[in-house]
Amino acid sequence: MPPISPFVFATCNVGSEASLKAEVFRSHGKVLTPAFMRPGLITWKSKIELPSDFDMQSVFARTSGFSHGLGKTIGDIASLVQKMGTSPLHLHLFPRIPPEDEWVEQDRARIDTLRASLSAALAEKNVSIQAPMNPALGDWILDLIVEPDSEQSLVGLHQHDHDKHPSPGGLPRIDQPPEAPSRAYLKMEQALAWQGLSREKTLSGLTALELGCAPGGASYSLLKRGIRVFGVDTGTMDDRVLNFQENEGPAFTHLRTTAGAVSSHSLPPKIDLLVSDMNLAPPIVLKYVEALQRRIRAKILIVTLKLNDRSLEEKIPLYLKHFAQFAPGPISATQLAANRREICLFSRV
């Protein structure tokens, strides 16, 4: 077990710092005192000795763990890591200021070059580094949060669990194809990557019911994975979604109605995924999703809740409690990198 630092860190979407800070205060205000804040990054100092499995359980934190200070050079960072005494480690190296939507090649190249240099420096100090992806539950992950235009990094450490994103910094390297109808494509791809579903070939052949599907970004993501989609929206769908073909014909069915008016006879006998990205208040979204889920019993739920009014953030625990009442399995919630004023809820049998 590594030495436990009295400092903890969390990264978040730029612009969500106040939301993260308020959320942590509501949950841990008696224990954690804010210490340091920059765009996309906050640290706290603990008033007590924290257990090694301490988890902020924050919706707005993309990555969180114990903070072990700043390293100004590759050598500094390697020395800090050597003192931690935890080996082997997974190395997650990512920028403090992430790309707004997609990674550009220069950002990828810079991160990969730094990672290679640091891995070599750590190897010289007999610190074993594992592959960055696919950590197992309980594995220790070394987080290096890189400053813009600098090798300086905050050195952090966390244990992987089912709520933690497997990608470094919660930033999967996903590109949106130019033909994708909307940014909802990125949100869906990131949600699948967060839960480890993006690598599952078993998604092919499943059927999804999507609420609030227009113009079709998320539908396009699902269709490309071999999932048949029944999309519910009164809006107009992109022709590339409407005309998407699979072996036996059209793979998308447009139900041009509201979520509350979906009739059972318009649905197939079995639906595997229930997806929602409706632009409605969270209580209304959850009401519609619950009503349909109790009818169709989908095995996977992926639900986006819009938080356009900041006062709604204090009600997130209530929304999660409601979601858990009809979810098919354990629930998780996070703000994905592609999310703006919204969060993603997930549940799976």
Residue from 102, 313, 89 nearest 187 by CA: 102
Percent share of the chain, pLDDT over 70: 96
* Number of structural domains in the chain: 2
**What span, in angstroms and rounded, lies between the C-alpha atoms of 157 and 139?**
10
Contact predicate 16/310, CB 8 Å: no
pLDDT at 51 over 80: yes
Among 80-89, 206-215, 275-284, the minimum mean pLDDT is found in 80-89
Say yes or no: 272 and 149 in one domain. no
Element housing 325 (H / E): helix 316-326
Taking the CA atoms of 219, 220, 225 and 230 in sequence, report the sign of the dihedral they define. positive
Q: Are residues 197 and 57 in the same domain?
A: no
Q: Are residues 75 and 117 in the same domain?
A: yes
With respect to residue 295, please indicate whether it lies within any of the assigned structural domains.
yes
**Across 58-75, average pLDDT:** 91
- What is the three-class DSSP state of 33? strand
Residue ending a domain, among 170, 193, 226, is 170
> Residue 347's pLDDT band (boundaries 50, 70, 90)?
very high
Average pLDDT over residues 134-145: 86
Is residue 286 located within the same domain as residue 312? yes
Cβ atoms 305, 319 nearer than 8 A: yes
Looking at 170, 204, 222, the residue that finishes a domain is: 170
Give me the CATH number covering residue 204. 3.40.50.150
Average pLDDT of span 152-159: 90
198 shares a domain with 158: no
Do strands 7-11 and 89-95 pair parallel, antiparallel, or not at all (unpaired)?
Answer: unpaired
Domain for residue 268, yes or no? Answer: yes
Q: What is the C-alpha to C-alpha distance for residues 143 and 2, in angstroms, rounded to an integer?
A: 14
Question: Are both 155 and 250 inside the same structural domain?
Answer: no
* Domain range for 252: 184-348
Mean pLDDT, to the nearest integer, of 299-326?
A: 97
Task: Tell me the pLDDT tens digit for each residue of 229-247.
Answer: 999 999 999 999 999 987 6
DSSP string, 46-72: ESSPPPTT-----SS-SEEEEEEEEES
> Distance between CA 304 and CA 335 in Å, rounded?
9
The 3 state secondary structure assigned to 90-152 is EEEEEECCCCCCCCCHHHHHHHHHHHHHHHHHHHHCCCCEECCCCCCCCCEEEEEEECCCCCC
- For the chain, give the number of residues: 349
pLDDT classification of 152: cutoffs 50, 70, 90 = confident
Tell me which of 124 and 269 has the higher pLDDT.
269
Q: Could you give the percent of the chain with pLDDT greater than 90? A: 67
Higher-confidence residue: 334 or 129?
334
Task: Give the residue from 178, 152, 137, 155 showing the smallest Cα distance to 65.
Answer: 155
Whose structure tokens read 């390297």? Answer: 173
CA distances from 134 to 81, 92, 140, 338 (A): 21, 11, 12, 21
Q: What is the pLDDT of residue 59?
A: 97
- Residue 321 in 3-state DSSP? helix
Predicted pLDDT of residue 71: 86
Do residue 252 and residue 161 come from a single domain?
A: no
CATH of the domain at 119: 3.30.2130
In a domain, 179, yes or no: no
CA 143, CA 113: separation in Å to the nearest integer? 16
* Per-residue pLDDT at 11 exceeds 70: yes
Residue 107 shares a structural domain with residue 206: no
Same domain, 189 and 313: yes
Domain termination residue (choose one: 121, 143, 170):
170
Domain shared by 189 and 166, yes or no: no
Residues 14 and 127 in one domain: yes
Give the DSSP letter of residue 238: P
Tell me, yes or no, whether 89 lies in a domain.
Answer: yes
Residue at 1 is within a domain:
no
pLDDT at 87: 60
Q: Is the pLDDT of residue 136 over 90?
A: no
- E strand segments, 196-290: 207-211, 228-232, 245-246, 249-250, 252-255, 273-276
Helix (H, G, I), strand (E, B) or coil at 296: helix
On whether residue 177 sits in a domain, the answer given is no
Q: Are strands 207-211 and 228-232 parallel, antiparallel or unpaired?
A: parallel
Q: How many other C-beta atoms lie within 10 A of the C-beta of residue 138?
A: 9
Q: What is the pLDDT of residue 282?
A: 98
**b/e per residue 177-215 (b: at least 16 CB within 10 A):** eeebbbebbbbbbbbbbbbebbeeeebeebbbbbbbbbb
pLDDT of residue 261: 96
224 and 137: one domain? no
Q: Could you tell me if residue 342 is inside a domain?
A: yes
pLDDT tens-digit readout, 184-227: 999 999 999 999 898 767 799 999 999 999 999 999 999 999 99
Structure tokens at 138: 């309980």
Q: Are 9 and 65 in contact (CB under 8 A)?
A: yes
